[in-house]
Amino acid sequence: MTSTASAPFAGAAGLGPAEADWAAAEALVRALPPTARVLLICHINPDGDALGSMLGFGLGLRQFGVRDVQATFPGPPELPEPFRGLPGLDLLVPADAADPAPDLVICFDAASESRLGELAGRLSSAGAALVLDHHASNPGFGTVNLVDAGAAATSVVAEQLLARLGVVVDPAIAECLYVALTTDTGSFRFEATTPAVHEMAARLLATGISPGDISRRVFDTRPFGAVRLFGEVLGRARLEPAAAGGRGLVWTFATLDDLARHDQRPYVLEALIDSVRCTAEADVSCVVKQTKPAEWAVSMRSKGAVDVSRVAVALGGGGHTFAAGFTGRGTVEQVVESIRGQLDAALIG
Q: Give every CB contact of residue 238 below 8 A, 6+ residues apart in sequence.
A: 250, 251, 252
Do residues 139 and 112 lie in contact, with contact meaning Cβ atoms separated by under 8 Å?
Answer: yes
pLDDT tens digits, the chain, 349 residues: what are they?
A: 433 333 344 555 557 899 999 999 999 999 999 899 999 999 988 999 999 999 999 999 999 999 999 999 999 898 989 999 999 999 999 999 999 999 999 999 999 999 999 999 999 999 999 999 999 889 999 999 999 999 999 999 999 999 999 999 999 999 999 999 999 999 998 888 999 999 999 999 999 999 999 999 999 999 999 999 999 999 999 999 999 999 999 999 999 999 999 999 998 999 999 999 999 999 999 999 999 999 999 999 999 999 999 999 999 988 889 999 999 999 999 999 999 999 999 998 7
**Do 19-219 and 224-346 come out as alike in CATH topology?**
no
Question: Is the four-CA dihedral 199, 42, 286, 267 of positive or negative sign?
Answer: positive
Give me the pLDDT at residue 5, please: 36
Give me the pLDDT at residue 11, please: 55
Q: What CATH number does domain 224-346 carry, 3.40.50.970, 1.10.1040.50, 3.30.160.60, 3.10.310.30?
A: 3.10.310.30
Looking at the domain that runs over 19-219, which CATH code has it been given? Answer: 3.90.1640.10
Task: Give the separation between CA 55 and CA 291, rounded to whole angstroms.
Answer: 26
Q: Give every CB contact of residue 86 below 8 A, 6+ residues apart in sequence.
A: 51, 52, 55, 175, 176, 179
Helix (H, G, I), strand (E, B) or coil at 39: strand
Ordered DSSP codes for 73-140: -SSS----GGGTT-TTGGGB--GGGS-SS-SEEEEES-SSGGGGGGGTTHHHHSS-EEEEE--TT---
* Domain edges within the chain: 19-219, 224-346
Helix (H, G, I), strand (E, B) or coil at 325: strand
Task: Give the separation between CA 261 and CA 222, rounded to whole angstroms.
Answer: 16
Q: How far is CA 144 from CA 29, 114, 258, in A?
A: 11, 18, 42
